[in-house]
Amino acid sequence: MRMTYAARTWWEDRALPRLVDVALSDVTSRPWREAVCGPVSGRVLEIGFGSGRNLEYYPETVTEVIAVEPADLAWERAADRVATFGRPVRRIGLDGASLALPDASVDVVVSTWTMCTIPDLDSAVREMHRTLRPGGSVRYVEHVRSHHPRVRRVQERLQPFWRSVAGGCHLARDIAGMLETAGFVVTPLYPEGPRRPSSPARLELVPFEAGVAVPGGHLAE
């Protein structure tokens, strides 16, 4: 049965958020979060808010964060970070595929290690496109499909098991391709510094990929 956010299990809602929080600790994720979150400003829509780890990376130019988060435990674990953020943070729903927001109402969409898990990603990407203001962008980091055929075959073999234990996560989604199909132009984004923890061009089972996606006709900054 296809997982939906309306039919989440105890594992998905109470246990998995703790494991994800550990797996994407600051040691692992810091360079990527800095690259994705550091240059943003204005009203931010964050798809997959989790425990609020991105908040410390947002600059003072961010005026509000609108959070979409399906797991109640993750939102509970974010309470201290939300309290110290100093600007409004509000949770608007569970599912990025249907957003209770007007058209052209946010300046930037941020998604970190979330689009791999959204059941109806095509609809979610269309919602991102709909809610962005002119000149806005989607900034993301994900684990993605490997560029290497042998690694990709391993990803495909592991997918049924991985999906069952990882809350519906897809090991090998082509995130950039799905964004481009929805009318975005995607520019690759890389973390700064000598250490790059991952690259799709390397022989890794779970390669990371970051990018900036803008609606066609606009240039990414």
Q: Would you state the structure tokens that stand for residue 22, as one six-digit string?
A: 């550990």
**Dihedral of CA 121/168/67/52: which sign?**
negative
Q: What is the residue type of 101?
A: L
Q: Is the pLDDT of residue 36 over 60?
A: yes
Which of 22-26, 42-46, 63-67 is predicted with the least confidence, judged by mean pLDDT?
A: 22-26
pLDDT digits (tens, 9 = 90+) for 150-194: 877 887 887 777 776 666 787 888 999 999 999 999 999 987 543
Give the confidence band of 205 by pLDDT, cuts at 50, 70, 90.
low
Helix (H) or strand (E) holding 127: helix 121-131
Model pLDDT, residue 74? 87
DSSP state of 84: H
Instruction: For residue 111, give every residue at least 6 positions away whose Cβ sits within 8 Å of its Cβ, in sequence order, or none.
Output: 46, 47, 48, 96, 138, 139, 140, 141, 142
Buried (b) or exposed (e) across 26-45, using 16+ Cβ within 10 A?
Answer: eeebbbbbebbbeebeebbb
Instruction: For residue 40, give every residue at least 6 positions away whose Cβ sits within 8 Å of its Cβ, in sequence order, or none.
Output: 58, 59, 61, 62, 107, 108, 110, 139
Q: Domain residue spans in the chain?
A: 5-215
Is pLDDT larger for residue 114 or for residue 28?
Answer: 114
Q: Would you state the structure tokens that stand for residue 92, as one six-digit string?
A: 């608007």
Model pLDDT, residue 200? 47
Model pLDDT, residue 170? 78
Tell me the mean pLDDT in the region 70-81.
91
Please name which of 81, 75, 80 lies closest in space to residue 93, comparing C-alpha atoms: 75
Q: What is the CATH number of domain 5-215?
A: 3.40.50.150
Model pLDDT, residue 60? 98
Tell me the C-alpha distance between 188 and 211, whole Å.
Answer: 4
Is pLDDT larger for residue 30 or for residue 194?
Answer: 30
Model pLDDT, residue 197? 44
pLDDT digits (tens, 9 = 90+) for 100-154: 999 999 999 999 999 988 989 999 999 999 999 999 999 999 988 777 788 778 8
Tell me the C-alpha distance between 219 and 195, whole Å.
Answer: 28
Tell me the C-alpha distance between 205 and 166, whole Å.
Answer: 15
Give the confidence band of 25 by pLDDT, cuts at 50, 70, 90.
low
Model pLDDT, residue 220? 47
Please name which of 46, 133, 35 lies closest in space to residue 82, comparing C-alpha atoms: 46
What burial class does residue 125 get, using C-beta atoms within 10 Å of its C-beta: 0-12 exposed, 13-18 middle, 19+ buried? buried
- Bridge partners (DSSP) listed for residue 78: none
Model pLDDT, residue 165? 65
Tell me the C-alpha distance between 150 and 205, whole Å.
Answer: 10
Q: Is the pLDDT of residue 29 over 60?
A: yes
